[in-house]
């Protein structure tokens, strides 16, 4: 699977994860979605500059072994040149200009990716906050209708309102959970 979560919302990603976690076969996927990787990956194969490095563990194992300081750096972690030092004084040779330029470009791409991720998370959190507010308003209206004596004069009206309220409560819980998860991701990125 190539970037299976790209155009999915959070609840669809969770549904996909639940289905894939129940799958007994081998699954190979490519993803930049750290939440998806953490939930599913049992081994990691890092590809960089045409080089493959296998890690016989989950994503956290990969982070530990690649000595990445954060998840974003892990996605762009490079490989060092293993040639011995050329000068006799024990100092490392100066990096070649092309390599330094590549490192600067990678660092700039990392910053741009982090900024984009932060922007997307803020937009997502704002949308979730609006959705939560709408759901809370609907919940209040349904509760008020259930408290009104005239509701019980209409056959089946209370049952209908209870079903609607149950659906709203479930949606509210899911939206709140999604908002909290986005907040945790945002805090980690801004740190």
* Residue 183 included in any domain: yes
Q: For residue 136, what are the domain limits?
A: 96-191
Helix (H) or strand (E) holding 52: strand 51-55
Task: Please write the tens of the pLDDT for every residue from 41-79.
Answer: 888 887 778 787 887 888 888 787 877 544 555 555 444
CATH no. for residue 163?
1.10.287
The residue-averaged pLDDT of 159-170 equals 93
Domain count for the chain: 1
Beta bridge partners of 53: 46
- Candidates 30, 83, 38, 25; CA nearest to 181 is 38
Instruction: Give how far Cα 191 sits from Cα of 74, 76, 95, Å.
Output: 16, 18, 29
* Residue 86 included in any domain: no
* Residue 77 included in any domain: no
* Residue 13 included in any domain: no
Distance CA 65, CA 73 (A): 13
Whether 77 and 94 have beta carbons less than 8 Å apart is answered as: no
* Residue 168 included in any domain: yes
pLDDT at 95 over 80: no
* Residue 51 included in any domain: no
* Residue 119 included in any domain: yes
Q: Which residues contact 20 (CB under 8 A, 6 or more apart)?
A: 27, 40
**Proportion of the chain above pLDDT 90, given as a percent:** 31
* Residue 115 included in any domain: yes
Task: Please write the tens of the pLDDT for every residue from 111-152.
Answer: 787 888 888 989 999 999 999 999 999 999 999 999 999 999
| Long-range pairs for 73-81: beta carbons < 8 A, 24 or more residues apart | 73/110, 75/32, 75/34, 75/113, 76/106, 76/109, 76/110, 76/113, 77/46, 77/48, 78/48, 78/49, 78/103, 78/106, 79/48, 79/49, 79/51, 79/53
Give the 3-state secondary structure percentages of the chain, helix then strand then coil, rounded to 5: 65, 5, 30
Residue 75: the pLDDT is 54
């Amino acid at each position: 699977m190539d970037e299976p979560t790209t155009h999915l919302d959070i609840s669809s990603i969770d549904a996909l994860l639940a289905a894939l976690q129940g799958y007994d076969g081998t699954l190979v996927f490519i993803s930049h979605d750290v939440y998806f990787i953490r939930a599913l990956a049992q081994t990691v194969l890092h590809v960089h500059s045409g080089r493959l490095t296998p890690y016989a563990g989950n994503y956290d194992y990969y982070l530990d072994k690649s000595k990445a300081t954060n998840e974003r750096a892990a996605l762009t972690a490079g490989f060092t040149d293993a040639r011995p030092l050329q000068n006799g004084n024990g100092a490392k040779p100066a990096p070649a200009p092309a390599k330094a330029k590549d490192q600067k470009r990678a660092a700039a791409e990392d910053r741009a990716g982090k900024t984009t991720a932060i922007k997307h998370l803020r937009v997502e959190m704002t949308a979730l906050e609006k959705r939560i507010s709408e759901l809370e308003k609907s919940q209040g209206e349904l509760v008020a209708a259930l408290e009104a004596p005239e509701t019980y004069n209409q056959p089946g009206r209370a049952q209908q309102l209870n079903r609607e309220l149950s659906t709203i409560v479930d949606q509210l819980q899911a939206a709140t959970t999604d908002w909290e998860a986005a907040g945790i991701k945002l805090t980690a990125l801004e740190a």
